[in-house]
Structure 1
């Protein structure tokens, strides 16, 4: 392999991580723009899962379908219900009720929740640094959630923040509980099972809402934002993330997730959807410091809580 090709191979995973985190950061303001004024959240959940399921079938045009062990089928169904149905529903309903800035900050606690679950299941162990980071990060996240009751946070709502927090919990459980099963198969196979099952489960609930959406009332910017939410934030970023994880340490990939609140805040303020409050900024710094302490504790051991899934 030439030096130029080696450089290309080493750079591509980092480009993939940057792109997928930028796309995920754009979720927050665009979801908030479209939901629930223009599209009912259940309609958007069902529609986005159906589109993602169709995307997941495309690799079958050039790739033979991979056989799944019968013992793993119930686990795939569980993964689909958890990360496809539950997380997607909580994220969309949560962002229809709260600030995109608060939502993006709350969702950054996933590495901390993964650590907590890993310790509970005996996969990991606590150290002083991890405990300090966990206390700081969880304290900051709870503070952001509770700002939803503050009169000064007109764009935020307590129950919306709680839903985003529960979505982060669903992601964490998926990453810890289903890690071994997901690692057994190709990325395209896992995504195909998860999103085809999720679409079949959700379409009966959202089909009526999809039909009754007032498409004629949508302006061109709203149509474009809706198309973005339907097509981009799920399948493609998850493909890029899993491609990157083949060569990049989880510790490194976790660091890239902190691009998301920065980009989400910039977009939300620029689009006039929200404004950054001093207390939210302070709590965000507390979360980042907490997660930073946890990540630092893994540098010597060269392992870390997993990266995020949308």
Structure 2
């Protein structure tokens, strides 16, 4: 039975990686022709809040301690509003493959923030990993050219926003960890998303009136539903299910499948194609992530 539970957990994580990998091309297909990024995020968060609270109906009510509400608000700010707004604004002007590669810097960002705020130890392999990962991200952002290209409009700016999104999500992981240890995951997620909705609302509501609902094709409605139900609601639930059986390290490993799935999806639909600078950047980033996440653990086993 234990082996069967592990198989189910890994299938759930594979499903999450598939959803996230497809999301890059699907969300890109919707923006900006049919939905502007901030309006899309408001719809996404609103739908997720309704689904999470509906899913929790009938379950036992878990009270949040007063002292923990500030942490929930911070998690909503970093892990829902800022994280998702930056990602969709970045993806809107970046490419699916570049955005997927940049997102794998997340473990490096987590380590940097943990070292600053939680005094986590920094070994030389981890320092080297941080340097390699960030150099790969900068190389990708500059598109393999001069660093003067960093702040030009277009894909480079989009990659910068996606990288800031990874930093924001890393801050969320640091902030939310004590809550996940104290409360049930579904309790935390529904309140964090509700807090995030209040931060996202002022930014997204101004773009909602511009949506021409009657001119949106049926295919795009299905893609919007995929982002709301699949990428936001279902992916979170599958991650929660997997965490009951496997470690958080195992869960985080599946993030490295996203660039492969995103690349395959983008090539199949013709929205993007891999280039030399993307492959070089991916090699640098993956090398850095290996040193940060796996090198010391492997030596101590």
What is the TM-score with the length of structure 1 in the denominator? 0.89
CA distance in 2, matches of 1:90, 1:277: 24
* 1:70-219 aligned within 5 A: 70-147=66-143, 157-219=155-217
**3-state SS, counterpart of residue 66 of structure 1:** coil
1:264 to 262, 274, 280: 262
1:26 and 1:122 map into 2 onto residues whose CA distance is 34
Structure 1: which 5+ residue stretches go unaligned? 303-310
Structure 1 distance, partners of 2:184, 2:88, is 28
Q: Which string of whole-angstrom CA distances, capped at 9 and with x for unpartnered residues, describes residues 212-253 of structure 1?
A: 311222223222212212222112212221332233223322
The answer to which of 65-74 and 174-183 deviates more is 174-183
Instruction: Give, in whole Å, the separation in 2 of the partners of 1:123 and 1:238.
Output: 29
Against the structure 1 CA distance between its residues 181 and 201, is the aligned structure 2 distance closer, same or farther, given a 3 Å change threshold? same
Runs of 4+ in 1 over 4 A off after TM superposition: 148-151
Look up the match of 2:4: 8
More helix by share: 2
Aligned equivalents of 2:211 and 2:9: distance in 1? 39
Match of 1:308 in 2: none
Contact 1:147 1:156 in 2 (8 A): no
8 Å CA contact 1:129, 1:293 repeated in 2: yes
Relative distance call for 1:121 and 1:205 in structure 2 (3 A) is: closer
The DSSP-based 3-state class of the residue aligned with 1:258 is helix
For the 8 Å contact 1:50–1:203, the answer to whether it is kept is: no
Structure 2 residue ranges without an equivalent (≥5): none
> In structure 2, which of residues 282, 285, 289 is the aligned counterpart of residue 284 of structure 1?
282
CA contact 2:31–2:92 (8 Å) conserved in 1? yes
Give per-residue Cα distances to partners, 1:46-70, cap 9 Å, x unaligned. Answer: 1010000001112332202210000
Aligned to 1:298: 297
Instruction: Output the CA distance in 1 between the equivalents of 2:45 and 2:274.
Output: 31
Say which SS state the counterpart of residue 246 (structure 2) adopts. coil
More displaced stretch, 78-87 vs 201-210: 201-210
| Gap change, CA 1:250 and 1:299, over 3 Å in 2 | farther
- Establish whether residue 46 from structure 1 lines up as the match of residue 45 from structure 2: no
Aligned residues: 295
C-alpha displacement at 1:272, in angstroms?
Answer: 1.0
1:79 Cα offset (Å): 0.8
- Asked if structure 2 preserves the Cα contact closer than 8 Å seen for 1:114 and 1:173, the reply is yes
Q: Which moved more, 1:62-71 or 1:114-123?
A: 114-123
Contact 2:24 2:100 in 1 (8 A): yes
CA RMSD of aligned residues (A): 2.1
Deviations 1:242-294 (A, max 9, x none): 33223322332222111100000111111111111011111101111211122
In the alignment, is residue 35 of structure 1 matched against residue 31 of structure 2?
yes
- Would the alpha carbon gap of residues 156 and 211 (structure 1) be closer, same or farther in structure 2, given more than 3 Å must change? closer
